[in-house]
Structure formats: structure tokens, C-alpha cells
Amino acid sequence: MAISAKLIEDTARELTARAAIDIPTDFRQGIERARDRETGRLSRFVLTQMLENWEIATADRRPMCADTGLPRYYVTLGNEAQVQGGLVALERALRRATAEATASVPLRPNRVHPLTRADQNNNVGIHAPEVTLAVEPGGDWIDVTTVHKGGLFGTDWRMLFPGDGIAGIKRFFVDTLIESGKRGLACQPAIVGVGIGGAKDTCLRLGKEAACLRVVGTRNPDPAAAALEAELTELGNHIGLGAMGFAGTSMVIATHVELAHTHTGGMPVGIHQFCLSSRRATARIHPDGRVEFRTDPQWFTDYYRREGIE
């Protein structure tokens, strides 16, 4: 049985609203813990006000931040999943849902032509919204995750080399957080994603996915990566900067490291900070019409991280 493209469209529109309005519980609890341990007066004030703002946004069903970023989708297809009209129909459904949600939620129409600056007022355009596809063995369902992510700052990358080692990754991590915190180039505290390995585009992609698609409190199953996650979080919270760049100890809510096998001569690293408005929502769509909403994208599966040929 094929999944209705109209059902995908309706679900994506609802996900877009939920992502804009409702902060996931795991991130909210991370902010509460950061607030409780924060010693900086202004940083603690910012965190308290953000928690209150989220409560108001949920109660009023309005976006919790005026800048609703750049809506994008991550779609996982079960290997047996079918869509009425095929994958082209799926993409069109997501583009229609974006345009409809821009008007109904409403979302700020942030997408413009890069040269003429023309705005179609619907967040749809050339390569917009971005749709990233993944597959999973078995299953006749489709998972759709909506992420609202600011598209200006909070990201950096560096080509390190094997000789730089773990110490080089730590140095780059601290340099990036200090630079973004002092210059206002990210809205901290953040979930920080670190992509290590692959090619230049791979490490940046993994860094963004690690920041946007993993739940606070999860650990990479690779022991070396998990140990690095804990150490980077501790380093980030001891550089003297807190919420929104004020003095404090709450710059990082969590650090998520993802790995990709890379060229023997290099070690590219991409860092991505998912801002204080960490917005995501997921739904699993079944061919019988059932839709199950959740806040954990479950993007980084064993299959997605597989090392072997099969």
C-alpha cells in the first residue's frame, strides 16, 4: 500500500508548526540544568527568560522566536515504503507544506534569491527547502523530520591533519566557540555538532546533523567519540562565556560527535552550533494512514553509521 502524498503534505505542515513553536523536552531540560548551575548573573537571567518565553509560545501557539530560520527536512525511507506518485510527489508535498506553513503558522519568509534578493514570501525557491534522504532496511513507513535552523552563523570548518590529533580538534572547538561567543555569531547555549572525517562537505553535513538530529543526553556508540563528546562539553563550559555571550559557564548544552572514514592524509572537522532555539519535530507516516509524532528523529541508526559493506 502506497503512502498518500497529501498525507505527507499535511503531516509536514503540522511538523513545521510544532518545530517552530514547541521546544523538545530533552533540550528544555538541558537548559533547565544549565540555568540551575549557572553562576553568571546575566547568563542565568537569559536562560530563565528563555524558559518563560517557551511556555508563552506553547500556550499561545506562536513561534518561540521571530526568526524561524530556514525550514528543512530530513526524510528516512523504510526500504519497502512506497509513495503515491513516487519520490517527486514526496518532494513536491514538502515544498507545498513549507509554503502553506509560512502563511499559516506563520513563519518569517527568510528565503531570498542570493543575487537579486527577491523574496517569494513562502520559503520555497532554488534548492529550498533542503530535503535530505536516508534509507533503512525493512519497514514500509516514512519518517519526516522538520528542522528550523538559522542559516547565517554558528558553523565553521578546518582541515586538520593526522599529526594534529585529538588536541587539534579540541583547540579548533574552543577557538570556534570563543570567536562565535565574543562576536555574537551564535545564540548560545547550543547543542554543538562536530563532524570528523569524510570530505569537506561530509564533515560539515555530519556536524549539522549531529547538532540538529540527536537528542540531548545521547552518546555516540564509538567509545573514543563518546569520550571526546564529554570532554568537549566540559571545555566549552569552562571558557568563561555563557548564554548569548555573557560571562558564565553555560555555553554548551551537549556536544555530539559523528564520524566518517576519511583520507589517510587528512582529518577535516566541521562544527555546527544549533542555536538556543533548537527546533525539531518528527513523525512516522504509515501506509494505513497512521501518523505517530515524536521529538527524537532517530536519524543516527546502526545502519546509518555502518562500517561494513552490507
With beta carbons less than 8 A apart as the criterion, state whether 226 and 39 touch: no
Q: Indicate the range of 25-34, 149-158, 170-179, 251-260 predicted with least confidence.
A: 149-158
H or E element at residue 103: helix 86-104
Q: Taking the C-alpha atoms of 224, 226, 232 and 234 in order, what is their torsion angle to the nearest 10 degrees?
A: -120
Q: Is the pLDDT of residue 194 over 90?
A: yes
Looking at residue 278, the DSSP 8-state letter turns out to be -
pLDDT (mean) for 46-52: 94
Q: According to the model, what pLDDT value does residue 186 have?
A: 83
Helix (H, G, I), strand (E, B) or coil at 204: helix
Q: Is the pLDDT of residue 171 over 80?
A: yes
Residue 67 pLDDT grade (very low, low, confident, very high; cuts 50, 70, 90): confident
Residue 305 pLDDT grade (very low, low, confident, very high; cuts 50, 70, 90): very high
Q: According to the model, what pLDDT value does residue 245 have?
A: 85
Burial of 165 from C-beta contacts in 10 A (0-12 / 13-18 / 19+): exposed
With beta carbons less than 8 A apart as the criterion, state whether 13 and 97 touch: yes
Looking at residue 277, the DSSP 8-state letter turns out to be S
Q: Kindly tell me the number of DSSP H helices and DSSP E strands found in the chain.
A: 7, 9
- For residue 137, whether the previous peptide bond is cis, meaning omega lies within 30 degrees of 0, is no
Q: What is the pLDDT of residues 222-277, one digit of tens each?
A: 999 999 999 999 999 999 999 988 999 999 999 999 999 999 999 999 999 988 77
Q: According to the model, what pLDDT value does residue 275 have?
A: 82
Q: According to the model, what pLDDT value does residue 292 have?
A: 98
At 243, phi and psi to the nearest 5?
-60, 130
Q: Give the bridge partners for 78, in sequence order.
A: 136
Pairing state between β 279-285 and 142-149: antiparallel
Q: Is the pLDDT of residue 143 over 80?
A: yes
With beta carbons less than 8 A apart as the criterion, state whether 3 and 84 touch: yes
pTM of the model: 0.95
Q: Is the pLDDT of residue 150 over 80?
A: no
Average per-residue pLDDT for the chain? 95
CA distance 65 to 279: 10
What percent of the chain has a predicted confidence (pLDDT) above 90? Answer: 88
Residue 41 exposure: Cα atoms within 13 Å on the Cβ side: 0
Residue 153 pLDDT grade (very low, low, confident, very high; cuts 50, 70, 90): confident
Q: According to the model, what pLDDT value does residue 278 have?
A: 84
pLDDT (mean) for 295-304: 97
Q: Is the pLDDT of residue 188 over 90?
A: no
Helix (H, G, I), strand (E, B) or coil at 183: helix
* Among candidate residues 218, 292, 219, the one with its CA nearest the CA of residue 26: 218
Helix (H, G, I), strand (E, B) or coil at 150: coil
CA distance 169 to 154: 17
Q: According to the model, what pLDDT value does residue 152 have?
A: 72
Q: Is the pLDDT of residue 68 over 90?
A: no
